[in-house]
Structure 1
């Protein structure tokens, strides 16, 4: 599915959010590896579960064809600095919901890019017949948890000791969901 491009200016930074295009595949591949190395909030360590440009091209192509998928990118002067994705299921028992994920390059934190990606995804979901959005978030990612709560998500559960980071410590994953209001 696609959305129309939207432009924003926050704290002097001009950026656009638009649907991902196949031409973005190479930049998305690089950005994913970069972001995985910038924060512990992602599921992967840097370089793990690598998705190359060809695979991103295929994901973008499939997401455009599926009514229950949405792939957005945040663009600053032609540079992709963040992205989000909603992925639905073709299974009848799960076709009422989508899973949301988002990431933004560290040097572009604080400009509301993640929030805008979430807001546009919520709007798309609410106007596309999606009844529920779900997401997973690291227990220590307080800013994200507060953002999600402020956007109507509720904690649905906690997966105890779900992840083990490079520091050898275990961390919980918080499962959150939002029903269409």
Structure 2
């Protein structure tokens, strides 16, 4: 799936949101590892990343060619500072209406609208791909993200009190949310 849009961030900087593609493999892999080291709210730790730059490049190439999956990168001053994407939950009839969603932003770029912009882009792409429901999981302590998702129309549909087992804080409650498109 192809996507491209320029936006102005809260700090006045311009950002380009676009689909990631094969040449972005190393930089996206680096951003994944850094964002997953900067907060304990992510699903994995950098040492658990199963993608190296070559596998990431292949994944990005495949999502660019996909009619319903995408990985969006946020570029500020020619640097990828965040990513987000949608991925079909399944292709069988009972699941093909649903897509999973995730986003990450480098900590130095938090609070200026990148996460929200990537989220809105993913929602737009999900609608265009024909999905009728977009889903996510968020750690219950991640209050800012939860507030943003609720403001965007996501609704909580469940909680798992031991959803993540953090190396730092032990078990973390994970909230499942969805948005009808």
TM-score by length of 2: 0.94
- Are the aligned partners of 1:86 and 1:98 in contact in 2 as well (CA < 8 Å)? yes
Cα drift, residue 129 of structure 1:
1.4
Structure 1 outlier segments of 4+, above 4 Å: none
Alignment of 1:8-19 (within 5 A): 8-19=8-19
Instruction: Measure the CA separation in 2 of the matches of 1:116 and 1:163.
Output: 26
Instruction: Measure the CA separation in 1 of the matches of 2:6 and 2:79.
Output: 15
Matched with 2:47 is 47
Alignment of 1:70-81 (within 5 A): 70-81=70-81
Instruction: Measure the CA separation in 1 of the matches of 2:147 and 2:63.
Output: 28
CA RMSD after TM alignment: 1.3
Matched with 1:105 is 106
Matched with 1:178 is 179
Instruction: Measure the CA separation in 1 of the matches of 2:169 and 2:110.
Output: 27
- Are the aligned partners of 2:116 and 2:148 in contact in 1 as well (CA < 8 Å)? yes
Deviations 1:38-82 (A, max 9, x none): 001101123222411111111112112222201100001111000
Matched with 1:29 is 29
Q: Aligned pair 1:91/2:92, yes or no?
A: yes
Instruction: Measure the CA separation in 2 of the matches of 1:149 and 1:43.
Output: 20
- Are the aligned partners of 1:83 and 1:103 in contact in 2 as well (CA < 8 Å)? yes
Q: Aligned pair 1:82/2:79, yes or no?
A: no
Matched with 2:161 is 160
- Are the aligned partners of 1:33 and 1:50 in contact in 2 as well (CA < 8 Å)? no
Cα drift, residue 168 of structure 1:
4.6
TM-score by length of 1: 0.94
Matched with 1:140 is 141
- Comparing 162-171 with 14-23, which one deviates more in the overlay? 162-171
Instruction: Measure the CA separation in 1 of the matches of 2:36 and 2:50.
Output: 10
Matched with 2:6 is 6
- Are the aligned partners of 1:13 and 1:111 in contact in 2 as well (CA < 8 Å)? no
Cα drift, residue 126 of structure 1:
2.1
Distance 1:117 1:137, change over 3 A: same
- Are the aligned partners of 2:165 and 2:172 in contact in 1 as well (CA < 8 Å)? yes
Gaps of 5+ in 2: none
